[in-house]
Amino acid sequence: MGVSETGAERIAYRTCPLCEATCGLAITLKDEQVLQIRGDKDDVFSKGFICPKGTTLKALHEDPDRLRKPLIKRNGEHVEVSWQEAWQEVERGLMQVINTYGRDSVGTYVGNPNAHNLAPLLYNRTWMQALGTTKHFSASSVDQLPKQIASGYMFGSATSVAIPDLDRTDYVLMLGANPYVSNGSLCTAPDFPGRLEAMRARGGKLVVVDPQRTRSVEKSDEWLAIRPNGDAFLLAAIAHTIINNGRADVGDHLRLHTAGFDELPAALKAFSPEAVANVTGIEAQTIRRVAMELCDAPTALVYGRIGTTTVSFGTTASWLVDVINIITGNLDKVGGVMFTLPAAGGQTTRGKPGRGKGFRIGNRFSRVRGFPEAIGEFPAALMAEEILTEGPGQIKAMVTMAGNPVLSTPNGQQIERAFESLDFMISVDIYLNETTRHANVILPPPSHLERSHYDMIFTSFSVRNVANYSAPVLERKSGDPDEWQILAKLAGIAQGYGADIDPAVVDDHIFNSLLEKFLKDELSQIHGRDEREIREEIDSSGARGPERILDLLLRTGPYGDAYGANPKGINLQTLKNQPHGMDFGPLMPRIPEVLRTPSGKIELAPAEIVADLIRLENALDDFDVEEFLLVGRRHLRSNNSWMHNIETLVKGATRCTLQMHPDDAHQIGISDGEKARISSRVGTLDVFVEITKNIRPRVVSLPHGWGHNLVGTKMNIASAVSGVNTNVLTDEEQMDPLSGNAVLNGIPVKILAVATPL
């Protein structure tokens, strides 16, 4: 069970749920108190690596501000109530809005921690469908959506993201990512820094493209200090150079599996290194050299993250990353970028291999701006206008699930106004914070240590094929629902079954439909098997809730035992017996089987993206070098907006500063530690300035996730450190038109010195 006894003390093993690195933790307990949290040196993947956040699961569990009981807002104040009362309020408020305005008047916002949490991964779909609305939003569209859209067009599925084969590569061109701080994203690799260092130690080279001299830059061989939003131009010029030098070659392994290769020269014609030098701020000869280095290295890969996706050319840049990986022969090749084969929940581990319906957006369009839906949701940048704009279909109620859009999505003040105007709002969350303070009902799940864990998302994006199940470390207080029970109950209430609906009924329904689907599916490992025999085996395990579903997914997955048909295969019990995880080895080639495009080929020149290149071309000379551009940054001791209530993570000097180059500070007439007034089209902030040479002139940087000084929250430590909300400055009208992702980097701003605060 992931637990070993040593006298009165015991050690429980658990995967850290805080970031994508999925480090194994060894948690020492005595009398159900956590004594210590260390890295699990026997973890098959992380081998003991841990960052300062991993140990704070104890503080998070013990945080007196973490909600233990549901809250209801009465006369403007949140008061603790029983679960029974909370559910009655949910039913009353939700059904009233649905009965008055219809189901499409309910909106949902699903935040980042959902991706790190088994219960929502298995139950979110159900309650979101049960609401019967089309108004879904999530943190995807302030993050990685452009990468998913580009991958969708190229490989046929929005979850087929090509992952850097970090441990075997000789060359990494990394754009807009700072894994020394973030520990990596869309590339699950515990001890990402150590893996990069190992690459350099074996003679490899790391080139980092970033307007800031980050920690990752400091540890690299070369820094290309790009102008914000310059990546699509830079990558286009690199691809252009490779093609024009006759070096473009997809490799024998992809020869029969690519389409659109011949369209690339014309599509990228305008983007010579000389043409992009000004807009990128990178010299033509440097671009040429890097292009040739990518071709000459035995193996090489391009990896782009937040700085390449949260910009107005996010989808184009994401596409070009893989175009270069493909035309240098490095896609689906050891040391290049490859596709993970996850043990459970992988979309391309089911269905017909090698061909599919392909990917498209625009199954419906948003009410106010007429913007297309993508992957079943609308851009978060559209959420406020959908709430604030009157008329049929207006959102009147919201459900937020582990999300803090007030601090994390553009134009935070507009989001605030929107939430304040709602008839009803439900938040499933562990804190009373900037977003949930607007909720009529807050439903708190148990702490991270009181629930089981399996990384169903990040095992699909990892640099090795691994699986690791963690049992709950501590027992839940009796009577408190588990997170899956909260979500299942929400689904039942939304479907009109009332506040007393037993979540187990919903759970049975989810499980039964999944099992029936697999039994009927000709391509499933259990197609046509005797249902009774399989059910008997399932019932004998006694599992319910997420465990039962996970077991089904594992057993019918690529490494599964298929309920006996594959005796060497795994099931949940196999994972329970291996508390340090299972390693199925390094990534293996998956082309063409992984593809789901209608052509059965990799689409190198998707029409939607090629058609938009004219916008890139028009932008070549359409910029003002004197303009200040705002970018973000992360800190090792922060986790987006929600871990600032942990004392050890926020102590010391304030980190929420506006970093600025000395030349710019001099020109504005501002000194280190003084306040600047920074304004954009939508907002203004006063913030302390930190002068540093580690940033490109005319670029300023402010971290996101701060601004905890709002009335009506209950996060005592966070409120004391406060900081400012950078998303007061980001603009809901600026989006990547191909994906709807918000532009959070490269925001045009004006900066003044201020003598007195706002």
Q: Which is nearer to ligand SF4, 18 or 443 (CB)?
A: 18
Q: Which of 638, 713, 734, 741 binds ligand MGD (CB under 6 A)?
A: 638
Handedness of CA 539, 542, 543, 545 (dihedral sign): positive
CA–CA separation, 301 vs 165, rounded Å?
8
612 scored as a contact of Mo ion (CB under 5 A): no
Residue 18 has a CB neighbour count (10 Å cut-off) of 22
Q: What six digits make up the tokens of 225?
A: 């200090």
Of 42-50, 207-215, 249-257, 369-377, which segment contacts ligand MGD by CB under 6 A? 207-215
Q: Which is nearer to Mo ion, 104 or 143 (CB)?
A: 143
* Residue 482 C-beta: closest distance to ligand MGD, Å: 11
143 scored as a contact of Mo ion (CB under 5 A): yes
Q: What is the maximal distance between C-alpha atoms in the chain?
A: 78
Q: Which is nearer to Mo ion, 143 or 732 (CB)?
A: 143
* Residue 178 C-beta: closest distance to Mo ion, Å: 13
Go through the chain and tell me how many residues it has: 758
93 scored as a contact of ligand MGD (CB under 6 A): no
746 scored as a contact of ligand MGD (CB under 6 A): yes
Each residue 27-66 as x (binds ligand SF4 by CB under 6 A) or -, in order, gives: -----------------------xx-xx------------
| Residue facing ligand MGD at closest CB distance | 307
Residue 16's binding partner out of Mo ion, ligand SF4, ligand MGD, none, with CB under 5 to 8 Å set by partner kind = ligand SF4
Name the 3-class secondary structure at 747.
strand
The footprint of ligand MGD on residues 101-160 (CB under 6 A) is 111-113, 117, 139, 142-143
Residue 76 has a CB neighbour count (10 Å cut-off) of 6
Please report which helix (H) or strand (E) contains residue 27, including its range.
strand 24-30
Q: Which is nearer to ligand MGD, 107 or 405 (CB)?
A: 405
CA–CA separation, 142 vs 472, rounded Å?
31
Residue 18's binding partner out of ligand MGD, ligand SF4, Mo ion, none, with CB under 5 to 8 Å set by partner kind = ligand SF4
Q: Which of 54, 107, 156, 176 binds ligand MGD (CB under 6 A)?
A: 176
CA–CA separation, 169 vs 678, rounded Å?
42
Environment class of 100 (CB within 10 Å of its CB; exposed 0-12, middle 13-18, buried 19+): exposed
Closest-CA residue to 523 (of 354, 336, 331): 354
* Residue 73 C-beta: closest distance to ligand MGD, Å: 16
Q: Which is nearer to ligand MGD, 580 or 661 (CB)?
A: 661
307 scored as a contact of ligand MGD (CB under 6 A): yes
* Residue 578 C-beta: closest distance to ligand SF4, Å: 19
* Residue 387 C-beta: closest distance to ligand SF4, Å: 33
Q: Which is nearer to ligand SF4, 50 or 463 (CB)?
A: 50
Q: Which is nearer to Mo ion, 395 or 744 (CB)?
A: 744
19 scored as a contact of ligand SF4 (CB under 6 A): yes
* Residue 112 C-beta: closest distance to Mo ion, Å: 5
Residue 662 has a CB neighbour count (10 Å cut-off) of 13
Q: Which of 108, 134, 160, 183 binds ligand SF4 (CB under 6 A)?
A: 183
> Are 340 and 454 contacting, i.e. CB atoms less than 8 angstroms apart?
no
632 scored as a contact of ligand MGD (CB under 6 A): yes
Torsions phi, psi for 219 (to 5 deg): -95, 10
> Are 335 and 298 contacting, i.e. CB atoms less than 8 angstroms apart?
yes
Q: Which is nearer to ligand SF4, 179 or 740 (CB)?
A: 179
Cα–Cα distances (Å) from 32 to 59, 260, 318, 758, in that order, read 14, 60, 47, 48
Q: Which of 2, 13, 22, 171 binds ligand SF4 (CB under 6 A)?
A: 22
Complete DSSP assignment for 419-456: HHT-SEEEEE-SS--TTGGG-SEEEPPPPGGGS-EE-T
Q: Which is nearer to ligand MGD, 400 or 574 (CB)?
A: 400
Q: How many residues of this chain interact with ligand SF4, rule: CB under 6 A? A: 12
Of 100-108, 129-137, 397-405, 523-531, which segment contacts ligand MGD by CB under 6 A? 397-405
CA–CA separation, 40 vs 19, rounded Å?
16
Of 125-133, 423-431, 511-519, 611-619, which segment contacts ligand MGD by CB under 6 A? 423-431
Q: Which is nearer to ligand MGD, 560 or 632 (CB)?
A: 632
645 scored as a contact of ligand MGD (CB under 6 A): no
Name the 3-class secondary structure at 406.
helix
Of 255-263, 331-339, 619-627, 638-646, which segment contacts ligand MGD by CB under 6 A? 638-646
226 scored as a contact of ligand MGD (CB under 6 A): yes
633 scored as a contact of ligand MGD (CB under 6 A): yes
Name the 3-class secondary structure at 564.
helix
Taking only Cα atoms into account, the Rg of the chain, rounded to an integer number of angstroms, comes to 25
Of 68-76, 362-370, 500-508, 628-636, which segment contacts ligand MGD by CB under 6 A? 628-636
Of 140-148, 150-158, 473-481, 531-539, which segment contacts Mo ion by CB under 5 A? 140-148
CA–CA separation, 377 vs 670, rounded Å?
43
Closest-CA residue to 387 (of 333, 431, 353, 423): 423
Each residue 185-204 as x (binds ligand SF4 by CB under 6 A) or -, in order, gives: -----x--------------
Closest-CA residue to 73 (of 383, 361, 442): 442
* Residue 18 C-beta: closest distance to ligand SF4, Å: 4
463 scored as a contact of ligand SF4 (CB under 6 A): no
CA–CA separation, 738 vs 316, rounded Å?
8
Q: Which of 11, 23, 67, 658 binds ligand SF4 (CB under 6 A)?
A: 23
Q: Which is nearer to ligand MGD, 322 or 429 (CB)?
A: 429
Half-sphere exposure of 388 (CA within 13 A, CB side): 14
> Are 588 and 463 contacting, i.e. CB atoms less than 8 angstroms apart?
no
Q: How many residues of this chain interact with ligand MGD, rule: CB under 6 A? A: 63
Q: What six digits make up the tokens of 37?
A: 């949290």
Q: Which of 2, 12, 14, 21 binds ligand SF4 (CB under 6 A)?
A: 21
Environment class of 624 (CB within 10 Å of its CB; exposed 0-12, middle 13-18, buried 19+): exposed
639 scored as a contact of ligand MGD (CB under 6 A): yes
210 scored as a contact of ligand MGD (CB under 6 A): yes
Closest-CA residue to 591 (of 262, 320, 337): 337
Q: Which of 175, 399, 474, 550 binds ligand MGD (CB under 6 A)?
A: 175
> Are 710 and 420 contacting, i.e. CB atoms less than 8 angstroms apart?
no
CA–CA separation, 747 vs 729, rounded Å?
8
CB neighbour list of residue 519: distance below 8 Å, 6 or more residues apart: 526, 527, 528, 529, 531, 534
- Specify the amino acid at residue 516: E
> Are 313 and 183 contacting, i.e. CB atoms less than 8 angstroms apart?
no
* Residue 646 C-beta: closest distance to ligand SF4, Å: 12
Burial 312-324 (b: 16+ CB within 10 A, else e): bbbbbbbbbbbbb
Q: Which is nearer to Mo ion, 186 or 604 (CB)?
A: 186
The stretches of 135-283 forming alpha helices (DSSP H) are 145-155, 179-182, 192-201, 215-218, 231-244, 264-267, 273-280
Q: What six digits make up the tokens of 658?
A: 């506006």
Q: Which is nearer to ligand SF4, 157 or 645 (CB)?
A: 645
Name the site residues for Mo ion (rule: CB under 5 A). 143
Name the site residues for ligand MGD (rule: CB under 6 A). 19, 111-113, 117, 139, 142-143, 175-179, 181-183, 185, 209-212, 214, 226, 228-229, 231, 305-308, 311, 402-405, 408, 428-431, 433, 435, 445, 448, 631-636, 638-642, 704-705, 726-727, 730, 744-746
Name the site residues for ligand SF4 (rule: CB under 6 A). 16, 18-19, 21-23, 50-51, 53-54, 183, 190
